[in-house]
Amino acid sequence: MNSDVRELVADGDRASRNGDWPTARKTYAEAGDCARGYGLWRSASRCYRRALELDLFDRDVVDRVARISARLASGADWVEYVRALDLHPAWPHFGCRNAQIVIGDQGAVVECPQIGNVLELIMSEDDLIELVPEARFAGMPRAMALIILRRAMWGAPHHAPDDPASVRVAFAGCGTVRLDELGDWA
């Protein structure tokens, strides 16, 4: 990651830790724009995803990722994200910074603060998680679900950036991808 981008991300992280969500969102988006200016497409995507963790329905940020989607392995997912936001304008806005997996007698769910359950999850194989959106979020795009799951599983990366932990994820009939702790999928 470029030093300019890294500095902006650090500023965004600091604002986020202090609960200054507007500054964090603005700074993460600026970091994404900076990375995009250097042609660092994956870094730009990661920065924009940090902004989306604060508000998964931030249309401006989703549009920014969609503009570079042709340069990303996950490109089609971002086009679908834009389409889902257009189709579901009444969905409540929420973030997933403190998402968590909750396991109970009825199974496992991913829960986000102030909104409750957003995803149901089943671990059908050792390294395969199957995700289904909670009924009120039927039509959730895969990119949104993966952003939420990544935050629930790995609040912060624990492994070296060149060897991140990962898991296979099947989402609502969209096929299987490998999601890593940095938030990338392919």
pLDDT, tens digit, 9 for 90 and up, residues 42-91: 999 999 999 999 999 999 999 999 999 989 888 899 999 999 999 999 99
Task: Report yes or no: 57 and 93 within 8 Å, Cβ to Cβ.
Answer: yes
Q: Is the pTM of this model over 0.85?
A: yes
Among 47-51, 66-70, 103-107, 168-172, the minimum mean pLDDT is found in 103-107
- Give the C-alpha separation, 143 to 63, whole Å: 13
Q: Is residue 185 part of a domain?
A: no
CATH code (residue 35) = 1.25.40.10
CA separation for the pair 177, 142 (Å, rounded)? 10
| Same-domain check for residues 118 and 83 | no
Q: Where in the sequence is the domain holding 72, given as residue range(s)? A: 3-87
CA dihedral 177, 59, 94, 167 (to 10 degrees): 10
Instruction: Report how far residue 134's alpha carbon sits from residue 99's, in angstroms, rounded to the nearest whole number.
Output: 14
